[in-house]
Amino acid sequence: MAPQDRLSAPARAAPLLEVEDLTVSYGRNEVVRKASFALGRGGSLALIGESGSGKSTIARAVLRLLPAGARATGRVTLDGANALALSERRFRPLRGRTIGFVPQDPGHALNPVRTIGAQALEAAALLDVRDRAAGKALVLETFAEVGLDNPGRVFGSYPHQLSGGMLQRVLIGLAVLPRPALLVADEPTSALDVTIQKRILDLLSRLQRERDIGLLLITHDLAIAAERTQSLVLLKDGQVQEAGSAKAVFFSPTSAYARKLHADVPALNPDRYGALRDPGLGRLAQAAGEASKIEVRGVTKTFHVDGKALTAVDAVSFSVPAGTTHALVGESGSGKTTTIRLLLGLEQPDTGDITVAGERLAGRGPDALRGVWRHLQLIYQNPYTSLDPTWKIEQLVREPLDRFGIGSREERAARVREALASVGLGEHLLARGPATLSGGQRQRVAIARALVLRPDVIVLDEPTSALDVSVQAGIMEVLLTLQAKLGLTYVFVSHDLALVRQLAHTVSVMHRGRIVEHGRVADILDNPRQPYTRALRASMPAGISGTARGVPRRVPILAEQSLP
Amino acid sequence: MRNAYLTYAARRIAQAVAVVLLAYVFTFVVVSILPGDPVSTILHDPQNGFTDEEIREIIAAQGLDQPIAVQLWTALSHFVTGNLGLSMRSGRPVATLLAEVLPSTLILASAGFAVALLLAAVIAYGTQFLPARFGQGLLRGFPSLFLSVPNFVIGLVLIHAFGFQLGLFRVIEPNSFWATLFAALALGIPISAQIAEVLIANLDHEARQEYAAVARSRGLGQVGLFVKHLLKPSSLPVVTVIALTIGELLGGSLITETVFGRTGVGSLVQRSVTTQDLPVLQTVVSLAAVVFVGVNLLADLVYPLLDPRVTLVGSGRSRQAGAEDPATQTTEAVTA
């Protein structure tokens, strides 16, 4: 028999991974339909699509990690072997050694009650290591290679003791340690901060190059895909929409879907909402003399943890004129969240003064704060956890009205419908629960819930970081339309500079509790003076490198590139 | 970390002692406000032939004419110093009566506990390895079956089948090995169901976690995944459940003793209830509280050592749910 012999001659030319007519179904429901693509040895390919497009399902089918009840048909050839047809016993030797896996959420990808070292030794055991000591040496060497500062400490740590970025480095290390020919990375950076994202992607690219690994990258971000891989496969509703070299798909997309994906990436289209946003710049100029809607002056907040003083917010000042958007930008731990908690009166500042719509917030009791909250609403980061799953949409949106005892029954019902309509949701959703809605719809419900009180100011705490790029674009459009129509004032918290560029008028860049740079968005982002702001800007994925790096160009990138 | 644990342990131990003392006070108060006065019933019994003068003297000598708070204080201080008093019926020390029956109950309870753990492990781990076509579904059904049958019914069925039909043990020798084993089975089966249900749910939950998929992607087989990854996290919550089932073990062993005709704490309780022998009842109830609180205390103390994620925040709160309110659980266990 010796099937290897038969394959050995053409194996050089044959691709490392070949997927032909792959169909994955749950019962009658086909989530992937006849997907085909091929990835050469040492090459890189990205599967791009929104949630539910089937991109992760394809990755899991290739890895043979589909949940029970899923059925994969078609043909997946992995390093000459028919991966779908092999028995689990025959496929197991390929796991780790031929095909490695880097998962999406590093926080849940390691066993929480075992040390990282114990789990790393499982990966080392796939190579023929002599004993535990040799395995450990190999693990420590790999940890150092993936940029972990103190490999020995990481080895003895439990997962919850490390940050998300460090855990993802660990997982990448464990995946490449047994020297696989193919690495499947399923949205490896979507759970991480922007600056960490770039470093993790850089690490993946470096390892891929140095170790000659084939990389199958799953992402929803066209810019990341184009920047990091040679060929792109665009998926929608389980079907391939467009496939080709990264250059071709990025610069001259043929399908409508590819063009839409391109338009939805904030970094590639800084002025997409210019018509809605720019009137705010006029208000900014007008407001120079008047009192601002929000005034934050010299606010400091120190927390005491384990006897150590931690200054989360340090002498922060900014002001937001009515009808404009102010962005607070920074990484996790930069003090953004504490700043908005102070702004909402959920924490009291140690020193400094906060004024919203002419009313001082500091020193107010809970009752006095209630009055402020009518004018000041918050939209949370994660619409999957911020809406009570046992309530109906109608109840969720009406609740603030009930709380403040506003209007009669009929008036409340009318205001709920009005609020839903203004975020583009139909009345047929009123009796549904949040669980039946998509992430984008949920965030619209959260916006409607904030709008129903007709506030002046809305604080947006990373309102789209849990959503896909294309869904994010819809939410951005809703927010800007509402601002143009109702003259709302926004405080927009984000770590995504590209989004800030699209939405905000003024920006404060926060780093370790201080504002390091502030001013008009165009001034700060086009000519950042501080190294920290420059580092943040450099971490924005911008598609194919060297072309779209200088983000805030007035000329749309597509037009510019199609000239030669 | 070490310091935080010691603070936490000290708090938990202090709470446990407080709960036991409260349980004692609660029983004492409930018994004294119950209608019927067993002391005067005995004293006025014409068979004893006391005159009214003598009765007054005895009552005064026993301190029974004192206010209830003073009586409680006397009883509590005796209890704390280990003086359990005399049985009203037999006049023998309660400690002696208890010492006679305790070994039999302890043997039954520990055997029942062992049976429960073993059965739960077999059922839960079986569901992980038994393929669907060999009756995995049937195995998964066992816990709900076990839970829905009261343990005295299981006891009667076991006696009938193995005692009378198969003649494996003689019903009139309840302390023989086989009789004890079947009594332990009757006691352990319903308890095993609770542990097995939690264990199965945890195993299924852990197996669905992302880290399990990632571990499989590293080439771990079913057995490796189970032993290295699923066993520990799925067993941790069981520590709490086991502590909670101890109450059931106590209540269940009283019933099982009656069904199998064993002499034990159960029969002692039965006798003292019918004769209103207060010192004995008070002791047994307090003892049950001590055992239950003690086991839960042990679970609370062990848990932070087993689970690295549990952080003991300053005042000694642990992240673990359950066993939070031992007082209500104690009274439940006692009334069961």
| A276 band by pLDDT with thresholds 50, 70 and 90 | confident
Q: Is the pLDDT of residue A557 over 90?
A: no
Minimum-distance CB partner of A110 among B211, B224, B309: B211
Helices (H), A212-287: 222-228, 246-251, 256-264, 274-286
Q: What is the model's pLDDT at position B336?
A: 30
CA distance A221 to A469: 6
Average pLDDT over residues A50-54: 85
Lay out the sheet containing A239-245: strands in order across.
Answer: A99-102, A182-186, A214-219, A44-48, A231-236, A239-245
List chain B pLDDT tens, one digit each, 336 residues: 567 888 889 999 999 999 999 999 998 888 877 776 777 777 777 777 778 888 888 777 777 778 888 888 888 888 888 888 888 778 888 888 889 998 999 999 999 999 999 999 999 998 888 877 777 888 888 888 888 888 888 888 988 888 888 888 777 778 888 889 999 999 999 999 999 999 999 999 998 899 999 999 998 988 889 988 998 999 888 988 988 888 788 888 888 888 888 888 888 888 888 888 888 888 888 888 898 899 999 998 988 888 888 876 543 333 333 333 333 333 333 333
pLDDT value, residue A100: 94
Q: Which residues pair with A329 in a beta bridge?
A: A494, A509
Beta bridge partners of A240: A235
Which of A96, A119, A158 is nearest residue B217 as measured by Cβ atoms? A96
Residue A95 DSSP one-character state: B
CATH of the domain at B246: 1.10.3720.10
- CA of B232: which chain A residue's CA is closest? A113
- Answer yes or no: are the C-beta atoms of B216 and A65 closer than 8 Å: yes
Categorize the per-residue pLDDT at A72 as very low, low, confident or very high, splitting at 50, 70 and 90. very high
Q: How far is A348 from chain B (nearest CA, A)?
A: 23
The predicted pLDDT at position A544 comes to: 67
Task: Look up the CATH number of the domain holding residue A58.
Answer: 3.40.50.300
Number of independent structural domains in chain A: 1
Chain A positions in Cβ-Cβ contact with residue B214 (cut-off 8 Å): 101, 103, 109-110, 171
Domain coverage including residue A60: 3-106+182-264
Answer whether residue A441 is part of any domain.
no
Contact in structure between A175 and A142 (CB atoms under 8 Å): no
Nearest CA-CA partner of B128 in B51, B219, B44, B201: B201
Chain B residue at shortest CA distance from A95: B219
User: pLDDT at position B39, please?
Assistant: 73
Give the whole-angstrom CA distance, residue B273 versus residue A326: 76
Considering chain A, what percentage of its residues have pLDDT values greater than 70? 93
User: What domain range is B259 assigned to?
Assistant: 2-335
Each residue of A166-189: pLDDT tens digit? 999 999 999 999 999 999 999 998
Q: How many CB pairs under 8 A join A and B?
A: 74
Instruction: Look at residue A273 and tell me if it is in a domain.
Output: no
Residue corresponding to tokens 């003991």:
B312
Chain B residues in contact with A92 by the CB 8 A cut-off are: 219, 221
CA distance A391 to A387: 8
The Cα B247–Cα B336 span in angstroms is 8
Q: Is A105 part of the contact surface with chain B (CB cutoff 8 Å)? A: yes
Q: What is the pLDDT of residue B151?
A: 81
Tokens representing B7 are 């603070």
- Put simply, the answer to whether A112 touches B220 (Cβ < 8 Å) is no
Helix, strand, coil fractions of chain A, as percent rounded to 5: 40, 25, 35
The three-point CA angle A243-A247-A248 to 5° equals 50
Q: What is the pLDDT of residue A560?
A: 32
Q: List pLDDT tens digits, range A323-378.
A: 899 999 988 888 888 999 899 888 888 999 898 888 887 667 777 777 778 888 99
0.85 surpassed by complex ipTM: no
- Which residues lie below 8 Å from residue A138, measured CB to CB, with a gap of 6+? A124, A127, A129, A177
Taking only the tens place, the pLDDT of each residue in A482-540 is 998 888 999 999 888 888 989 999 999 999 899 999 999 988 988 889 988 888 888 87
Query: What is the bridge-based pairing of β-strands A489-494 and A457-461?
Result: parallel
Asked whether residue A19 is domain-assigned, the answer is yes
Instruction: Identify the pLDDT of residue A556.
Output: 33
Residues of A in contact with B221 (CB under 8 A): 92
- Let me know if residue A331 belongs to a domain: no
Nearest to A51 by CA among A389, A446, A467: A467
Measured distance CA(A540)–CA(B30) in Å, rounded? 71
Under 8 Å between Cβ of B164 and B171: yes
Residue A171: its pLDDT value, please? 94
Q: Looking at residue B316, what is its pLDDT?
A: 38
Taking only the tens place, the pLDDT of each residue in A292-323 is 889 999 999 998 876 778 888 999 999 999 88
Q: Is residue A97 part of a domain?
A: yes
Query: Looking at the 3D structure of chain B, how many domains does it have?
Result: 1
Strands (E) in A27-89, as ranges, are 29-39, 44-48, 70-78, 81-82
Place of tokens 């490198």: A545
3-class secondary structure per residue, chain B: CHHHHHHHHHHHHHHHHHHHHHHHHHHHHHHHHCCCCHHHHHHHCCCCCCCHHHHHHHHHHHCCCCCHHHHHHHHHHHHHCCCCCECCCCCCEHHHHHHHHHHHHHHHHHHHHHHHHHHHHHHHHHHHHCCHHHCHHHHHHHHHHHHHCCHHHHHHHHHHHHHHHCCCCCCCCCCCHHHHHHHHHHHHHHHHHHHHHHHHHHHHHHHHCHHHHHHHHCCCCHHHHHHHHHHHHHHHHHHHHHHHHHHHHHHHHHHHHHHHCCCCHHHHHHHHHHHCCHHHHHHHHHHHHHHHHHHHHHHHHHHHHHCCCCCCECCCECCCCCCCCHHHHHHHHHHC
Nearest Cα of chain B lies from the Cα of A100 at a distance, in angstroms, of 7
> What is d(CA B75, CA B78) in angstroms, rounded to the nearest whole number?
5
pLDDT at B117: 93
Q: With an 8 Å Cβ cutoff, are B217 and A111 in contact?
A: no
In this complex, is the C-beta atom of A132 within 8 Å of any C-beta atom belonging to chain B?
no
Instruction: Output the 3-class SS for A473-534.
Output: HHHHHHHHHHHHHHCCEEEEEECCHHHHHHHCCEEEEEECCEEEEEEEHHHHHHCCCCHHHH
Amino acid at B51: T
B31-75 per-position pLDDT tens digit: 877 776 777 777 777 777 778 888 888 777 777 778 888 888 888
Q: Which of B136, B211, B228 to mutate to test the interface with A (most CBs of A within 10 A)?
A: B211
- Which member of A67, A97, A111 has the closest CB to residue B211? A111
Q: Note whether A505 and A280 are within 8 A (CB).
A: yes
Determine the Cα–Cα distance for residues B201 and A68; give it in Å rounded to an integer. 17
Give φ, ψ of B222 to 5 degrees: -60, -45
CB atoms within 10 A of CB B223: 10
pLDDT of the residue at A564: 31
Torsions phi, psi for B210 (to 5 deg):
-60, -40
Average pLDDT, chain A: 86
